[in-house]
Amino acid sequence: MEERKTVAARGTAPFRHEEVQVERLSEVNSEDAPRIETSNAEFNRVLGGGIVPGSLVLLGGEPGVGKSTLLLQIAQSLLRTGRRVLYVSGEESVRQIKMRAERLSRSSAEAAPASPAAGGEDIYVLAESSLENVLAAVEQIRPTDLIVDSVQTTCSEELESTPGSITQVRHVAARLLRLAKLEQISVFLIGHVTKDGSIAGPKALEHIVDAVLYFEGDRHHSHRIIRAVKNRFGAANEVGIFEMTAAGLIPVRNPSSLFLSESGATSPGSAVCCTMEGSRPILVELQALVLATQYGTARRTATGIDYNRVSVLVAMLEKRLGIPLMSCDIYLNAAGGLQITEPASDLAIVAAVLSSFRNRAIAPKAVLLGELGLSGEVRPVGQIHARLREAAAMGFDKSILPAGNLPLLEPVGQMELLPVRTAQELSDLIFST
């Protein structure tokens, strides 16, 4: 095997001025990178099985959603595995971090971030916004994991621009990426979001990091969702579901129970669908309210469901089934605050609208799966076995699903499968079962 060749870097190179190594692709070790598992199963799931050493992860979310709390919990979990963690905050003092750790300690039965791990180690904390000082602290402490809260408040003294500017954010992220790769330090960046929900700063920031995690959650609900928008070491669109408690963010073992009402969707206007969040099936109750409009123009409101998709489905019902919905106000809601984006929920949306319009409840313990086209045809959906298994585990014994998904390769318990081909068949089926 030939020895690796070295190439002298140009004097204008932004980082290195020494010789760099060029490798042949056939000589590169292709084995999976080792994972560092934390005690938080949902966090491990979002990252694709655990933390990869030398990775740069960006966690974004609205203020107060729980970003700092979660990473403080993750820091303590890493500490118990014998790793050395440095927590840098440009927004809070060391005393404030200590107070949060003590608050979590009083509410949790487990050891809190404030308590030292076996062997006398503890989390290192630094209240600093200067990037140069942060890098100096890393050189001194030599941590295995670094948490920076936040990337918008960290600035480099080499630049004259203000903290949080496009130039500063890109420069800070690039320097920390180089640190992560050269020293094999796992770096976590906390990022603020703008009014439209995207991470503040240039879009290039998301291209620099290895993984982008979005923190989603409604202040009026106790659950929080972390969604992997980008992940170089695992599947994108994977989600982790947590519950906000006095002890911090606790992983939810049975997410479907969060989004189903106690009534079991037996009232008029309620239908249950199974949506895929990454590789995880989640049962969600969709609620519809249809009533005659009191104004000249009918009103449409959708919460947790794409408004444009609802408008298309309502127009299809008006055209194909002849239902006079243009003179009706329609209000749709996904129970529990979950955002539903996949078209497999079309059948449940239409069923909920029909149920409310006719004031008749859908057959109890029935889950609806399917995508609807503009001509009223019902199209097959993917991962049908995972969806049906989740429904069966939650006690559902009927499934109204596209005929194109049958026959199943494997039976799913004693669940009754009711195939449907068109929206007209659905209208006859949901009230006759």
Expressed in percent and rounded to 5, the helix, strand and coil fractions of the chain are 30, 25, 40
Do residues 198 and 281 both lie within one domain? no
Cross-strand pairs, 231: 211
- CB under 8 Å to 175, separation ≥6 — which residues? 131, 135, 156
| Helix, strand, or coil (residue 45) | helix
> b/e for 324-348, b at 16 or more Cβ within 10 A?
ebeebbbbbbbbbbbebeebbbbbb
Q: How many residues does the chain have?
A: 433
Do residues 182 and 307 both lie within one domain? no
Number of domains in the chain: 2
Instruction: With respect to residue 331, please indicate whether it lies within any of the assigned structural domains.
Output: yes
Do residues 301 and 177 both lie within one domain? no
Instruction: With respect to residue 17, please indicate whether it lies within any of the assigned structural domains.
Output: no
- Identify the domain boundary among 191, 225, 253: 253
Do residues 141 and 267 both lie within one domain? no
Cross-strand pairs, 388: none
- CB under 8 Å to 246, separation ≥6 — which residues? 103, 107
Do residues 60 and 192 both lie within one domain? yes
Do residues 329 and 223 both lie within one domain? no
- Identify the domain boundary among 214, 233, 253: 253
Written as six digits, the tokens of 71 are 């990473």
Q: Domain with 373 in it: what CATH number?
A: 3.30.230.10
Q: What is the amino acid identity at position 220?
A: H
Distance CA 127, CA 92 (A): 7
Cβ(202)–Cβ(174) below 8 Å? no
- CB under 8 Å to 265, separation ≥6 — which residues? 271, 272, 285, 362, 364
Do residues 131 and 198 both lie within one domain? yes
Cβ(275)–Cβ(281) below 8 Å? yes
| Helix, strand, or coil (residue 5) | strand
Distance CA 427, CA 430 (A): 6
What is the predicted pLDDT for the residue at 120? 46
Do residues 180 and 270 both lie within one domain? no
Distance CA 213, CA 193 (A): 12
Query: Which H, E and C letters describe 336-387, residue by residue?
Result: HHCCECCHHHHHHHHHHHHHHHHCCCCCCCEEECCEECCCCEEECCCCHHHH
- CB under 8 Å to 354, separation ≥6 — which residues? 317, 323, 426, 427, 430
What is the predicted pLDDT for the residue at 189? 96
What is the predicted pLDDT for the residue at 32? 66
pLDDT truncated to tens, each residue of the chain (433 aa)? Answer: 444 455 444 444 444 456 777 888 888 876 766 899 999 999 999 999 999 999 999 999 888 888 999 999 999 899 888 999 999 999 999 999 999 888 876 665 444 444 445 444 689 999 999 999 999 999 999 999 999 998 999 999 999 988 888 899 999 999 999 999 999 999 999 998 876 666 666 677 888 999 999 988 776 778 888 999 999 998 888 899 999 888 889 998 888 887 886 555 578 999 999 999 888 899 999 999 999 988 878 899 999 999 999 999 999 999 999 999 989 999 999 988 888 989 999 999 999 999 999 999 998 889 999 999 999 999 999 999 999 999 999 999 999 999 999 998 788 888 999 999 999 898 888 875 4
Domain of residue 281 covers 257-432
Helix or strand (DSSP H, E) at 183: helix 166-183
Instruction: With respect to residue 249, please indicate whether it lies within any of the assigned structural domains.
Output: yes
Instruction: With respect to residue 24, please indicate whether it lies within any of the assigned structural domains.
Output: no
Do residues 209 and 96 both lie within one domain? yes
Distance CA 275, CA 283 (A): 6
Q: Domain with 242 in it: what CATH number?
A: 3.40.50.300
End-to-end CA distance of the chain: 70
| Helix, strand, or coil (residue 72) | helix
